[in-house]
Amino acid sequence: MLSPMIVFSSVTKEYHGRPVVKDVSFTVQPGEFVCITGPSGAGKSTLIHLLIRAEYPTSGTIEVDGADIAKLPVTVLQMYRRNMGVVFQDYKLLEDRTVAENIAFALEVSGESDQVILERLEEVLSDLKLTEQAQMFPTELSGGEKTRTALARALVHQPSILVTDEPTGNIDPVQSLEIIKLLKQVNARGTTVILASHDKLVVDAIHARVLRLEHGSLIRDSVGGYLEGEETKETQPTAVKTESHSHPHPHPHTHPHPHQHKEGESSGEHHKHGGVSGRVKPISI
C-alpha cells in the first residue's frame, strides 16, 4: 500500500474565532478523484484554500507527499504551487490577453524556453479543443470555453494534482458534462483530482469518492453520488478514518508520477515519494 499523497489530520480553520472547518481528517491516494461536496457555506472553498496553502490551519496539519505544507520553505513552496494545477469558478483569466497568451503566461513566469512553451501550448490547446479559440480574448469566449482555458492553464505544467473549486459554477449542464468528461480523462492519465462542488448533477455524474462537509465538519466519506454512495460510511466529525477506504479507481496501486526534480531546485523536505513534482502524460480527448 502506498503512502497517501494528501493527509488532513484534525484540521480546524477559524475566522475571527469562529470555526468554519472543524477537526477534519482524511487521506487521498495518488491518482484518486475526490469530490468535496456540501451546501453553500459548508467550508468547501476553505478546505481548497488550505490545500493550496492560501490559508493556514488554525490547528491540525496538512501533509502532501509527506511534507507538512505549513512548513514548506519559500523555494519549495513555489515548486509545490507550480506543480499543483488550480482552477477557480471565476477563472481568473487575464482579460487583456488571448487564450494562448493566458496559457503561455503560466509557463513564461516559470522561465520555460520558447520552444517548450510552444510545444506545450499546442499540445494543451489541442487536448482541450481550444485551437480555434487560441487568438480570442476571454470576453469573446463561452462559459465552457473559459473553463477549458482555465483548465488548460492549470494543466500546461502537467501537474500531479488538479484542484478545482466549483469549475462548473458558471456554465450550463451540457457544458458541465463536457468538463466532467475532461476532468475524468485528466484523472485517467494519473493526475489526482480534487473537485469542490455543491452541484448534485456534477457530483452524481463524476461518480467518484465523495467527502461531504456540513457546517465545517466532514460527515461522510463514500463512493458514488451526491447523497449516498455504494460504500457509504457515515463518519463522526472527530473520527473520520479514510485509511481503509477502498480505492475507487482501476489504477494499480503504483505511484503514477515518477519523481523529477528540475536542476537547481531545492528538494527540501518535500516530495518524499514523487507526487507533485511528477510529470504525467498529456491528456488526449
Q: How far is the CB of 274 from ligand ADP (least distance, A)?
A: 30
Q: How far is the CB of 90 from ligand ADP (least distance, A)?
A: 13
User: Quick one: 31 or 43, whose CB is closer to ligand ADP?
Assistant: 43
Q: Give the residue among 234, 164, 159 at the shortest CA–CA distance from 148.
A: 164
User: Quick one: 66 or 169, whose CB is closer to ligand ADP?
Assistant: 169
Q: Could you tell me which residues come within 8 angstroms of residue 100 by beta carbon, excluding any fewer than 6 positions away?
A: 121, 125, 134, 135
Q: What CA–CA distance (Å, rounded) separates 3 from 7?
A: 10
Q: How far is the CB of 166 from ligand ADP (least distance, A)?
A: 8
Q: What CA–CA distance (Å, rounded) separates 67 from 87?
A: 23
Q: How far is the CB of 8 from ligand ADP (least distance, A)?
A: 14
Q: Are the beta carbons of 193 and 167 closer than 8 angstroms? A: no
Q: What CA–CA distance (Å, rounded) separates 135 from 5?
A: 37
User: Quick one: 128 or 171, whose CB is closer to ligand ADP?
Assistant: 171
Q: How far is the CB of 126 from ligand ADP (least distance, A)?
A: 33
Q: How far is the CB of 255 from ligand ADP (least distance, A)?
A: 30
Q: Are the beta carbons of 46 and 21 closer than 8 angstroms? A: yes
Q: How far is the CB of 15 from ligand ADP (least distance, A)?
A: 3
- Where do contacts with ligand ADP occur on this chain (CB under 6 A)? 15, 20, 38, 40-46
Q: Which three cell numbers stand for residue 103?
A: 496559457
Show the CA angle centred on residue 205, arms to residues 200 and 211, nearest 5°.
60
205 backbone dihedrals φ, ψ, rounded to 5°: -70, -35
Q: How far is the CB of 36 from ligand ADP (least distance, A)?
A: 8
User: Quick one: 41 or 237, whose CB is closer to ligand ADP?
Assistant: 41
Q: Give the residue among 7, 83, 130 at the shortest CA–CA distance from 280.
A: 83
User: Quick one: 46 or 192, whose CB is closer to ligand ADP?
Assistant: 46
User: Quick one: 41 or 282, whose CB is closer to ligand ADP?
Assistant: 41
Sign of the C-alpha dihedral, residues 127, 195, 45, 227? positive
User: Quick one: 40 or 139, whose CB is closer to ligand ADP?
Assistant: 40
For the chain, report the end-to-end CA distance as a whole number of angstroms. Answer: 31
User: Quick one: 127 or 166, whose CB is closer to ligand ADP?
Assistant: 166
Q: Are the beta carbons of 272 and 65 closer than 8 angstroms? A: yes
Between helices 99-108 and 114-127, what is the axis angle to 10°?
Answer: 130
Q: What CA–CA distance (Å, rounded) separates 117 from 243?
A: 39
